[in-house]
Amino acid sequence: MRFDIATLFPEMCNAVLNESILGRAKNRGFVEFYCHNIRDFSDDKHKRVDDIPYGGGMGMVMQCKPIYSCWQYVCNQLKEKPHTIYMSPKGKVLTQQRAVELSQLDNIFILCGHYEGIDQRVLDVIIDEEISIGDYVLTGGELPALVLADTITRLCDGVLASDECFKDESHFNGLLEYPQYTRPEVWQDISVPSVLLSGHHKNIADWRMQESLKVTKERRPDMYNMYTKGKE
C-alpha cells in the first residue's frame, strides 16, 4: 500500500509516520509514505498557495493550481490515478468498516486542507471521496490524514502480528472490546477476574463476549441495537 499525502506541513506528517508501528511498517516494506509539500508546486515567487475568497468573507482559500500539479506529479509517478481523498469536516465520518475497505487498495492520495479550505473546482476534478474524522473543525487536514493513514496501515497485511490483533478490537465486529488486564494479578487489592487465570479457553471467550456486549450496551446503545438486530 502506498500513501501520498499532499500538505503544507510535510514535516508534521513525517514526524508521526516515522514512529512506532507506522514507522516499523514502513521500514519493513509493508507500506510506503510520501509527504508532498503543496508549496513546491506553486508558480508564485513567494511560494504562495492561497488567496482571498471570491464573494468576501474571512480567511484564505487554497488555490487550485498547486494542488492539481501536486496530484498530477503523483499520478505520473504511479502511472495511474490513485484513489483520492480530501480530509474535510463536510465528508462522511470515518468508520472501521470504511478503513477495512480502503486497506484493500494499492494507492491512496490524501489531500490536507488549511485556512478556510480549498477552491471547490480542484476538488470537483480530482477528489473521489471526502472523509471527516468527526463532527468538529480542526485547523488543518494533517491530523485527520494521519488518523486515516494510521487506521488503514494497521489493517494492511503483515503490519500487526496477526489479523486477530484487529479482529478482536472495538468496532471490528460491531461491538466495543472487553476489558483487558495484565500483571500483577492483584493491584491495590483489586484482582484480575478469576476466569482469565483459569486457562479455560471457552470460558474466557464466553466471558469476553459477555463483557463486550455489556460495555457496548452501556456506552453505545446505537451499536448494541444494531448488533443484536443483526443476530435476530
Q: Which residues bind ligand SAM (CB under 6 A)?
A: 87-90, 112-114, 116-118, 132-134, 136-141, 144
Backbone angles phi, psi at 19, to 5 degrees: -105, 160
Q: Which residue is nearest to ligand SAM (CB)?
A: 113
Backbone angles phi, psi at 52, to 5 degrees: -70, 150
Q: Following DSSP, what letter does each residue of 159-210 receive, concatenated? A: TSS-THHHHTSTTTSSSPPPP---S-SEETTEEPPGGGGS--HHHHHHHHHH
The nearer residue to ligand SAM, 171 or 217, going by C-beta atoms, is 171
The rounded distance, in Å, linking the Cα atoms of 7 and 212 is: 39
The nearer residue to ligand SAM, 31 or 112, going by C-beta atoms, is 112
Q: Could you tell me whether strands 107-112 and 83-93 are parallel, antiparallel, or unpaired per DSSP bridges? A: parallel
The nearer residue to ligand SAM, 137 or 161, going by C-beta atoms, is 137
The nearer residue to ligand SAM, 123 or 196, going by C-beta atoms, is 123
The nearer residue to ligand SAM, 94 or 196, going by C-beta atoms, is 94
Spatial CB neighbours of 1, under 8 Å, sequence gap ≥ 6: 30, 31, 32, 103, 105, 106, 107, 108, 152, 153, 156
The nearer residue to ligand SAM, 82 or 144, going by C-beta atoms, is 144
Q: Could you tell me whether strands 2-7 and 32-37 are parallel, antiparallel, or unpaired per DSSP bridges? A: parallel
Please report how close the Cβ of residue 52 comes to ligand SAM at its closest, in angstroms: 14
Please report how close the Cβ of residue 112 comes to ligand SAM at its closest, in angstroms: 5
State the distance between the two ends of the chain, measured CA to CA, in whole angstroms: 38
Please report how close the Cβ of residue 176 comes to ligand SAM at its closest, in angstroms: 22
Among all chains, which residue has been given the C-alpha cell 480549498?
A: 118
Please report how close the Cβ of residue 111 comes to ligand SAM at its closest, in angstroms: 7
Please report how close the Cβ of residue 85 comes to ligand SAM at its closest, in angstroms: 10
Please report how close the Cβ of residue 213 comes to ligand SAM at its closest, in angstroms: 30
